[in-house]
A and B are shown apart, each in its own frame.
Chain A
Amino acid sequence: MNRRTILNEKQVELTINRLCQQLIENHGDFRDSVIIGLQPRGVYLAQRIHKQLESLLNTQIEFGYLDSTFYRDDFRRRKNPITAGTTEIDFVIEDKKVVFIDDVLFTGRTIRSGLDALLAFGRPLVVELLVLIDRRFSRQLPIEPMYVGKQVDSIRMERVEVTWKGLEKETKVVLYTPESDE
């Protein structure tokens, strides 16, 4: 397995800064907007963005996380079943602008299940998608992010992993490529 670091800690920090500025451009003071991180790994990015936005705007922003396990379309089709995570949305999303956050966008199927799961909480005004890594050209559903940290061209066999300091050894984004047989 070959590994290549796509973003290091400094670059991730800069990217998050930029994404926050873009969000402020569109959402202003976040009075009518909420942030929702997707379980399992999108939550870590969402927490960082939420914290940074609150300190930049000096205000409180509604924040929750959403688990979409029960809404997935690969139930019984996976080798290893997924354990459900927790959902914490303690506010009303009706008529709110929702910023959906995940770390890596690949086939789009997780986001699809997330949208279904979200609708059980009401009818938001708008749902926007923010991802740190967009593995473009891999989509299996018509889903596109509105805010992108970095676009990566990768093939299906490859794997992108985002790690966070505190949870793992360091903050970085790594692309793993399997050794070719030739």
Chain B
Amino acid sequence: MSSLSGDHLLGIKQITEADINLIFDTATSFKKVINRPIKKVPSLRDTTIANLFFENSTRTKLSFELAEKRLSADIINFSSSSSSVSKGETLVDTVKNILAMKVDMVVMRHPNPGAAVFLAKNIKAKIINAGDGAHEHPTQALLDAYTIRENCGDIAGKKVLILGDILHSRVAISNILCLKKLGAEVMVCGPATLIPRYIESMGVKVELDLLTALNWCDVVNTLRIQLERQSIKYFPSIREYVMQYGVNKEILDGLDKEITLLHPGPINRGVEITGDVADSKQAVILDQVENGVAIRMAVLYLLAQEI
């Protein structure tokens, strides 16, 4: 008998270790459901969910939508490109209008950090943050940690490396918070220009050399270079980035142990990882996608208990 400690899922920062474990346990039940011949349960049949995507998304949007459908919720979709946002409407007004249509939960992705927190303070609905700028992406961190636990056992004591563009990555921040709450050791690695200055205050190690970092870790989460968020050049060229920080088969084979490789997607094959690595059995990228649906079902289900 338990439920989440908060009313929303705004970020990993706001939830406890017990919450994370409850989400994981519930996700395990849902993972079984989505592998049955009939993949649907009626739990949220009286719930309406709005998916508000003010920023492009493929995986997260599909994953949330599928999770909602598997729970039998009614859903409405919204993307900013085809809406009145382009006519000058504010975020609160847009969402209030949508809520006037009797929506119980809002899943929102927004380019501005803190958008989800702002929304939770201003409107009466359950808010799930599906990514707010370079701030947090809690469900991604939960599904990453869940996938690590599933493939490598208990997270406590595991050494996890987050590699790539840490500066612009909400996945990195949420991952660090989540893994630290579960007792993992976390290291970040990437070009010095793409590592935030105060990242050590989050309790993580910083390493600039790829080989040293890969030799240290049990699991590596490779991130995409977010060129769309980079207003200036942070490294001379993609080619140089690949030479310094690209993960390839040769490097992985040269390590003394077999490490597990995660990637939140979308992959730029040949940049942060090569195609053969992405397709190798060390990579659990498609497990992440499958677990993403189960994790999102668990979050929606647990939050919906108190509508």
Q: Which residues of A contact B (CB under 8 A)?
A: 67, 69-71, 75-76, 80-87, 116, 119-122
A-B contact pairs, 30 of them (CB 8 A): A69-B29, A70-B33, A70-B41, A70-B42, A70-B43, A70-B71, A70-B301, A71-B41, A71-B42, A71-B43, A75-B43, A75-B305, A76-B304, A81-B1, A81-B3, A81-B302, A81-B305, A83-B25, A84-B25, A84-B26, A84-B29, A86-B29, A87-B29, A87-B32, A116-B42, A120-B37, A120-B40, A121-B36, A121-B37, A121-B38
B307 within 8 A of A: yes
Residues of B within 8 A of A116 (CB): 42
Q: Which 3 A-B pairs have the closest CB atoms?
A: A70-B41, A120-B38, A84-B29
Residues of A within 8 A of B25 (CB): 83-84
Interchain nearest-CB distance for B33 vs A (Å) = 7
With A and B bound together, what is the CA distance between A70 and B43 in angstroms?
5
Residues of A within 8 A of B2 (CB): 81, 83
B250 within 8 A of A: no
Q: Which residues of B contact A (CB under 8 A)?
A: 1-3, 22, 25-26, 28-30, 32-33, 36-38, 40-43, 71, 301-302, 304-307
Residues of B within 8 A of A80 (CB): 1
- Contact across chains for B29 and A119 when beta carbons are under 8 A apart: no
With A and B bound together, what is the CA distance between A75 and B43 in angstroms?
7
> Which chain B residue shows the least CB distance to A120?
B38
- Contact across chains for A67 and B1 when beta carbons are under 8 A apart: no
Q: Contacts A75-B305, A76-B305, A80-B1; is A122 near B37 (CB within 8 Å)?
A: yes
> Which chain A residue shows the least CB distance to B40?
A120
- Contact across chains for A76 and B306 when beta carbons are under 8 A apart: yes
With A and B bound together, what is the CA distance between A67 and B41 in angstroms?
12
Q: Contacts A70-B41, A81-B3, A116-B42; is A76 near B307 (CB within 8 Å)?
A: yes
Q: Contacts A81-B305, A119-B38, A121-B37; is A67 near B43 (CB within 8 Å)?
A: no
With A and B bound together, what is the CA distance between A116 and B42 in angstroms?
9
Interchain nearest-CB distance for B42 vs A (Å) = 6
Most B CB contacts (10 A, CB to CB) among A69, A75, A82, A116 go to A75
Residues of B within 8 A of A81 (CB): 1-3, 302, 305
> Which chain A residue shows the least CB distance to B26?
A84
- Contact across chains for B304 and A82 when beta carbons are under 8 A apart: no
Residues of A within 8 A of B40 (CB): 120
> Which chain A residue shows the least CB distance to B27?
A84
Residues of A within 8 A of B307 (CB): 76
> Which chain A residue shows the least CB distance to B1?
A80
With A and B bound together, what is the CA distance between A141 and B38 in angstroms?
25
Interchain nearest-CB distance for A95 vs B (Å) = 14
Interchain nearest-CB distance for B47 vs A (Å) = 9
> Which chain A residue shows the least CB distance to B22?
A83
With A and B bound together, what is the CA distance between A122 and B40 in angstroms?
13
Interchain nearest-CB distance for A79 vs B (Å) = 9
With A and B bound together, what is the CA distance between A121 and B36 in angstroms?
7
- Contact across chains for B36 and A120 when beta carbons are under 8 A apart: yes
With A and B bound together, what is the CA distance between A121 and B1 in angstroms?
26
Interchain nearest-CB distance for A110 vs B (Å) = 15
